[in-house]
Amino acid sequence: MEMTPTKPRELHDPGRDEFLACAREGSPALIHGVVSAWPCSRLWSDAYLRDRLHGRKFLVNESPDGLFGIQSSRMLDSQGLCHISFDEFLDRVHTCGDGDEPPAERGPVFYMQQKPAAETFPELLPDVGHASFVDLATLSQLNIWIGQRGSRIPMHYDSFDNLLVQVRGRKSVRLYPPSQTPYLYPGLDGVDFASHVDPEQPDLQRYPLFARAAGAMDFTLETGEMLYLPPFWWHSIRALSNANISINYWYDTAFGLPRQPLQQARDLLRLTLSQSKALPPVQLDVMRAMLRQAADFT
Ligand SMILES: O=C(O)CCC(=O)C(=O)O
């Protein structure tokens, strides 16, 4: 059933109205012509970063095969955390070439995964730009990701509007629309926003419905490009080059609108569904009918 993957629409230095029209449609977009003017695009060489971050130590995730946990960045998962200086981190990142040697020859993969910039890299914040087509007051979190070729985290979605900016290096990206959730086996590590399926090597014995997943987008996020990811779009992202640097911005918006009502509706629905298990069958039937009616409301 898998059809030929497509690519997101492309926008060039969009104005607010153009961007919001795309966000409200819930379509991902590759945005050009914005990031190259930001100081980080010009400044963030190894030498500059070593100078700025000299002497500081960071918690870095380490993985034998490049696949990191969905919770690793929150330190809820003890997967290979090391506490090393920035210089040592960059040295380790560069010990592996940019070629395609097998993992055994390459050694472990290092990733500074989803580091909240204000806490982890305050000295880099002045170099970071902001998209003028989004209201800065709605910014909820800004994360910096620095890692090595081959790093990736499990396929997941975010419930925010997300802008992922590629400052250095390239990443390959696979997206699935929210409508494909029934085929993507949510629930990895007990969270409903992470999938059990590895789209690079799907185990169709264990996850047969994945064969029905359609509407994939496959593309490379190049240096200086920005990806708009609407909420609930599943994404699986692999770094293609060393000393790869991305910034991501989560906004307190979903589809360009305030996110709170959507979140409250979701929380309430979850609570209702979990409590419904204890209802006697007659009440359960009434509740099902009410939910069906609510779902038909447009
Ligand atoms: O670039 C990555 O490794 C993951 C980025 C991501 O998942 C995000 O921006 O939500």
Greater pLDDT, 209 or 75: 209
pLDDT surpasses 80 at 71: no
**Residue range 9-258 in CATH 3.40.50.1820:** no
Q: How confident is the model at residue 272 (pLDDT cuts 50, 70, 90)?
A: confident
Q: Which of 154, 42, 159, 49 is nearest to 93 (CA)?
A: 49
Spell out the residues 6+ positions from residue 298 whose beta carbon is closer than 8 angstroms to its own: none
Closest by CA to 110, choosing from 84, 128, 74, is: 84
- Dihedral pair phi/psi, residue 39, rounded to 5°: -55, -35
The reported pTM is: 0.90
- Atom of ligand 1 lying closest to residue 158 CA: 10
Average pLDDT of the residues in 113-134: 96
Burial class of 15 by CB neighbour count within 10 A (0 to 12, 13 to 18, 19+)? exposed
Q: Where are the beta strands (DSSP E) in 64-129?
A: 81-85, 109-116
Indicate the range of 100-104, 146-150, 186-190, 226-230 predicted with least confidence. Answer: 100-104
CB of 163 sitting under 6 A from ligand 1: no
**What are the pLDDT digits (tens) for 21-43?**
999 999 999 999 999 999 999 99
**Of 250, 44, 58, 61, residue with least CA distance to 151:** 61
Is 164's C-beta closer than 6 angstroms to any atom of ligand 1? yes
Regarding the beta carbon of 248 and ligand 1, being less than 6 Å apart is answered yes
pLDDT of residue 211: 97
Distances (CA, A) of 182 to 58, 185, 207, 234: 38, 7, 11, 12
> What single-letter amino acid sits at 255?
F
In short, whether 112's Cβ falls inside 6 Å of ligand 1 is no
Instruction: Work out the pLDDT band at 118, boundaries 50, 70, 90.
Output: very high
Predicted confidence at residue 64, as pLDDT, reads 87
Using CA atoms, how far residue 3 sits from 10, 15, 53, 176, 252, in Å, is 21, 33, 46, 12, 33
Q: E strand or H helix at 120, and its extent? A: helix 117-120
Q: Are 81 and 108 in contact (CB under 8 A)?
A: no
Residue 76 has pLDDT above 50, yes or no: no
Predicted confidence band of residue 99 (pLDDT cuts 50, 70, 90):
low
pLDDT of residue 49: 97
CA distance 86 to 258: 37
Q: What is the DSSP letter of 131?
A: -
pLDDT(142) > 80: yes
Q: Look at residue 103 and tell me whether its pLDDT is greater than 60.
A: no
Residue 165: strand, helix, or coil: strand
**Confidence class of residue 249 from pLDDT cuts 50, 70 and 90?**
very high
Q: How many CB atoms lie within 10 A of CB 208?
A: 12
Task: Give Cβ neighbours of residue 33 (< 8 Å, ≥ 6 apart).
Answer: 12, 13
Atom of ligand 1 lying closest to residue 143 CA: 9
* Mean pLDDT of the chain, nearest integer: 90
Strand order in the sheet with 217-221: 217-221, 171-176, 234-239
Over range 88-114, report the average pLDDT: 78
Q: For residues 88 and 74, what is the distance between their CA atoms, to the nearest angstrom?
A: 22
Q: Rounded to the nearest whole angstrom, what is the distance from the C-alpha of residue 26 to the centroid of ligand 1?
A: 18
The angle that helices 260-276 and 281-296 make with each other, rounded to 10 degrees, is: 160
Atom of ligand 1 at shortest range from CA of 153: 3
